[in-house]
Amino acid sequence: MEYIELTTTCENHTIASKLAKIIIEHRYAACVQLCPIESYYIWENEVCISQEVKLSCKTMRNIQESLQDLICKHSSYDLPQIIVTPIIDGTNAYLEWIKQSILETKK
């Protein structure tokens, strides 16, 4: 199993919270953490500064495409940030929890 952390951003906490709930309900991640951030970036040749919320999703590589599609579907951004970082190590118990949380069938 290959584990990953997929990060994205939302324009506010309300949208981020709704997206996190959808991700968890679809079992596309075992955990989604929300963190307020201040972003500096270039958009349409302008320097922009925005208050955003970063979502950090603990998931598995084989879920990545479905999770990306879901984020794009629910994003209010024209170009949502989606960045994937491999989880190269972790406790066996935590990694197993990620796997079981994603693979467990809804009751």
pLDDT of the chain, 107 residues: tens digit per residue: 899 999 999 999 999 999 999 999 999 999 999 999 999 999 999 999 999 999 999 999 999 999 999 999 999 999 999 999 999 999 999 999 999 999 875 44
Cα distances from 83 to residues 6, 55, 56, 57, 106, in angstroms, run 6, 11, 10, 10, 28
What CATH number is attached to the domain comprising 67?
3.30.70.120
Beta strands in the chain (DSSP E): 3-10, 31-43, 46-60, 83-86
pTM: 0.92
Number of domains within the chain: 1
Parent domain of 66: 3-103
Please tell me the predicted confidence (pLDDT) of residue 43: 94
